[in-house]
Amino acid sequence: MNNISKKYNKYYHKDKNIFELSLINYDSLNLYIRLDYSKKENLFFIRYLNILGHKFNIKNTNQVTLSNELGSLIVSILQQLTNTELDDTNETNTDLVCFTSNINKKHIEYKFNSFIPLKAIILGDIFYYLFDSMPFKYHSIFAKLIAKINNTDYKYTYKMPFKFDLYREKLDKVFSASTIQKGEECYKLEKVRFLERIQDSYYATVEGENGLYTVIVDYDNKTRTTTLACSCPYEYFCKHMYAVIKSIRNKETYKYYKVRYVEENADMYNKMFSQHYYLCLGIVDDKIIILLPDGSMKRLFVYDKSNNPMFEVVEEDEEHTLSKKIKELG
């Protein structure tokens, strides 16, 4: 990042840099933002660079002009910042935020992960004006940055365990009113197609607008901590998770098929003692859908080139739906 800063300073050397902000691997984004003041033009500029590759051209930097009132306001807020070290940072390389400013010849440097620490709450004001002036697509970054300040940081760490009684606690502690409404609908329309507890996790497959999504719910009964994850593109606690929790609470189970992969050269001994099986959602068109432990789905051919089945059914419904379908394909 220093490198980028140097290049900027070379190119805009007549401008005064007010502050720099680097977001490193922040929600998979690498963003370098700075506020500069041009004495010549008597204007404040926000310049920013979305660093995807290693090639970047300072001349083609995105630039937003700020009003002088807003620029001066940011400077006055900055002046309130003290040079206190933040002692609670445990920096990691993802979601890292570096903020530096040299206002009044006083070097201020803050580093933190994910959320503005409460101690540096004043940065929230600065970032508010900053991101408000930037394109809408970056606003979600601001929402995340201030999540600790407005007490919504749980939204951004939902893939981490959090204190929540999976079976009893009120669902509006986690889900928003609109998600609850959509989740209720999802539940009532029986969109939860598969749901099964396997060891300490619940695996579920929910039918969404654009295909099937996997929801994985881990629950630690002792500590009453829940971990939720959904493969849908919605960012936070989603309606699919809601519908699955509702099904879990109503003690519903919709078993997956279980299949074993028949290795072409496996001898009988290996076949007998191979305990490994896969969760299976069934057959769509001529492919079998396998659910991998990480929640991703694989669509595979059922038969090999010599027309031998590559999967054997370990567990299925009483009607032998899967076995029948496999036979039909042969």
Binding residues for Zn ion, rule: CB under 5 A, are 230, 232, 238, 240
Cβ pair 108, 83 in contact under 8 A = yes
Query: For 179, left (φ over 0), alpha (ψ -120 to 50), or beta?
Result: alpha
Q: Whole-number minimum distance, CB 177 to Zn ion, in Å?
A: 17
If the CB atoms of residues 206 and 322 are measured against Zn ion, the closer one turns out to be 206
Cβ closest to Zn ion, residue 110 vs residue 202: 202
Nearer to Zn ion, 149 or 230 (CB): 230
Tell me how far apart the alpha carbons of residues 21 and 97 are, in angstroms, rounded to a whole number: 7
Q: Between 147 and 230, whose beta carbon lies closer to Zn ion?
A: 230
Q: How far is the CB of 205 from Zn ion (least distance, A)?
A: 11
Q: How far is the CB of 318 from Zn ion (least distance, A)?
A: 31
Nearer to Zn ion, 74 or 232 (CB): 232
Tokens 């497959």 locate to 205
Name the minimum Å distance from CB 295 to Zn ion: 11
CB nearer Zn ion, residue 97 or residue 195 = 195
Closest distance to Zn ion from the beta carbon of 230 (Å): 3
Query: Minimum CB separation from Zn ion for residue 236, in Å?
Result: 9
